[in-house]
Structure 1
């Protein structure tokens, strides 16, 4: 989710279902990554947390988890964008045993969807988003 951005009018409450699509509440799922309490253990977990950050408007998490060599100086989220779902289509690497990984996903929003293959690397032991390639549906 490199170029398109989103934001909701208010952040998710800790007891709300997590926007990433996994069962469980926001606080116990992506909320713990957003707070910085723990780092995402895999490229897929980071992808899910970044999607959720777009949903709740957490620019700090997005910037913190973007590779320093590709991170923009600033990120402005579109307050009118409404993300409606995330589907993980394929993963490659990205586990505790890898230094790189890819996650191919489809993120739906009101009026369409974004299909991307994102690349991730470890920096100082933490997974970060490098860049993404938009794919045709």
Structure 2
């Protein structure tokens, strides 16, 4: 079975939001068994299992129980790599959401993003393919 991956940019950005101190960021990487040099390469990818381990350690490191909610205030286009810049070039919000749904595997292969239209409402549905992550090959 194919191993699902996440852009290495994701853990780097989370660590940067947790602390501006590079040494403290690298300590979080070490505790997560992630190579800091790998995370500095925008083209690198890590396994979803590695990302989940990192996220658990990063969450424990944060003194803020609402870190995830507050991180959204620091959201900027590079978070979603080339996908966000493609979204920004869209003529409409609908086109931007369609771009996100189509290209989301560039960011995280374990997430499935779909759009559903009901009358005048559009639903963005994000599903984590947990079955793929929980199965051992």
User: Do Structure 1 and Structure 2 share a fold, with TM-score over 0.5?
Assistant: no
TM range (shorter): under 0.3
Q: Could you say which structure has the higher helix fraction?
A: 2
Provide the TM-score with structure 1 as the length reference: 0.26
